[in-house]
Structure 1
Amino acid sequence: MKAMILAAGKGERMRPLTLHTPKPLLPVAGKPLIQWHIEALRRAGIDQLVINHAWLGEQLEEAFGDGSALDVCISWSAEEQPLETAGGIVRALPLLGSEPFLLVNGDIWCDVDFADLRLPPGKLAHLVLVPNPPFKQGGDFLLEGGAVSNPTDDERGRAQTFSGISVLSPILFEGLPGGPRPLAPLLRTAADQGLVSGEIHAGQWIDVGTPERLQQASIQAERG
């Protein structure tokens, strides 16, 4: 299975740290944030990686090149403008191939074991969900009996947050034109059709969206 790491975001909430450095290169415990993902994927036996980029993306390519220094093979999907999650995936599909692939947001830090993730037969997506973080009032999806569904307004309090980690089938993106496009509407439509499964990760997970959370990730990483 191949993996795609999403690294095209501009990191507006991380300014001024991201004015001259792409968010995935910001250090967590002395190591670029994205490198934690690359090394975790390699430990899981996933060494064929696709990474998209836009803002200051040339710095990412300079830092990691073809990935050989970390014992992986990296294919780069450059975007002239950010295409959002689904748009970036559509652009990268020729690099990802026709089999299900692992998708990882580049701006999270976690201890998820990628080796355990699979797409069940008959599903278009398998989502890793996490307990709602303190800064978030309600969750994104409900998980019951391994099946993911969309919560009503009354159910959001017991819904869980999408971690930004999933296994997706390329079929989910069939027929979509190029251009900016979010992923969430595609997942919600597939969930309504009973085509999304999921699991809960109860370990470490941080949405590295602010300088404070970047520092929190460093503290957690140093603790192991």
Structure 2
Amino acid sequence: MKAMILAAGRGERMRPLTDTTPKPLLQAGGMALIEYHLKALAHAGISELVINHAHLGSRVETVLGDGSDYDLTITYSPEAAALETGGGILQALPLLAPGPFIVVNGDVWTDYPFERLPPEPDGLAHLVLVDNPVHHHGGDFALDGGRVTTSGARLTFSGIGVYRPELFEGCEPGAFPLAPLLRRAIKAGRVSGEHYRGRWMDIGTPQRLAELDRMLMAENESP
């Protein structure tokens, strides 16, 4: 099974930090955000990884290289201009297909064990949902017997999912979001899901990055 980390966002809310450093390379706990994903994916048995990039993307390639330091083989999918989540995945699809693949947002931190993800989702996609953070109290989707729905008590989409290439059938190259594709598949009853109750943070602001850094540094200092 292959995986993709979405790392092409400009990180406007993270400025001025992202004026000189691509968002995935911002550090917390003494390590770049993206490295937590690399280590977790490798631990789960993933060996082939695709990373898209746009803003300061060459820095990402320079720091991570071919992935051998992480027991991974990394292939890059550069974007002249950020293609959003859907467009970025579509461009990278030839590197990920023909089977289902994992996609992880590069701007989240979590201790989710990626080995739990189903290699063959029951439908077009499988989504990991988490408790709603304070800054997103309304949530995104609901769960009903292992199926993702749009009605009921809502949870937040974690940015972690497994997708079949068929989810992107009919899409044209260019920039477009992933959410409408997921909502269409959810409406058709073709998206499974799970509620992860472990640790997860959306690192969308300098304040949240600092909070994560304090937490991880404190843990590193604990005996």
Q: TM-score range by the shorter chain?
A: over 0.9
Query: Which 10-residue stretch deviates more, 51-60 or 133-142?
Result: 133-142
Aligned length: 219
Once residues 194 and 215 of structure 2 are traced to their aligned partners in structure 1, the CA distance between those partners, rounded to angstroms, is 23
With the length of structure 1 as denominator, give the TM-score of the two structures: 0.95
Corresponding position: 1:169 with 2:174: no
> Could you list the runs of 4 or more consecutive aligned residues of structure 1 that deviate by over 3 angstroms after TM superposition?
119-122
- Structure 1: gaps of 5 or more residues: none
Q: Secondary structure at the match of 2:182?
A: helix
The question of whether the paired residues in 1 share the 8 Å contact of 2:100 and 2:120 is answered with no
Residues 188-207 of structure 1: pairs in structure 2 closer than 5 A: 188-207=183-202
Q: Which amino acid aligns with 1:186?
A: L
Q: Corresponding residue for 2:210?
A: 215
Counterpart mapping for 1:49-64 below 5 A: 49-64=49-64
Residues 122 and 109 from structure 1, CA distance in 2 versus in 1: closer, same or farther, beyond 3 angstroms? closer
Kindly report which structure 2 residues correspond to 1:112-191, keeping only aligned pairs within 5 A, or say none.
Answer: 112-118=112-118, 120=120, 122-151=122-151, 155=152, 158-191=153-186
> Taking every aligned residue pair, what percent have the same amino acid on both sides?
55
SS at structure 2 position matched to 1:81: coil
Where in structure 2 are there 5+ consecutive unaligned residues?
Answer: none
Q: Report the residue type matching 2:146 in the other structure.
A: G
The Cα offsets for residues 83-110 of structure 1, whole Å up to 9 and x where unpaired, read as 0001000000111121000000000000
Q: Please give the secondary structure, in 2, of the residue aligned with 1:76.
A: strand
Contact 1:119 1:125 in 2 (8 A): no
Q: CA RMSD in A?
A: 1.1
Whether contact under 8 Å (1:141, 1:160) holds in the other structure is yes
Post-superposition shift, 1:205?
0.4
Give the TM-score normalised by the residue count of structure 2: 0.95
Deviation at 1:121, TM superposition (A): 5.1
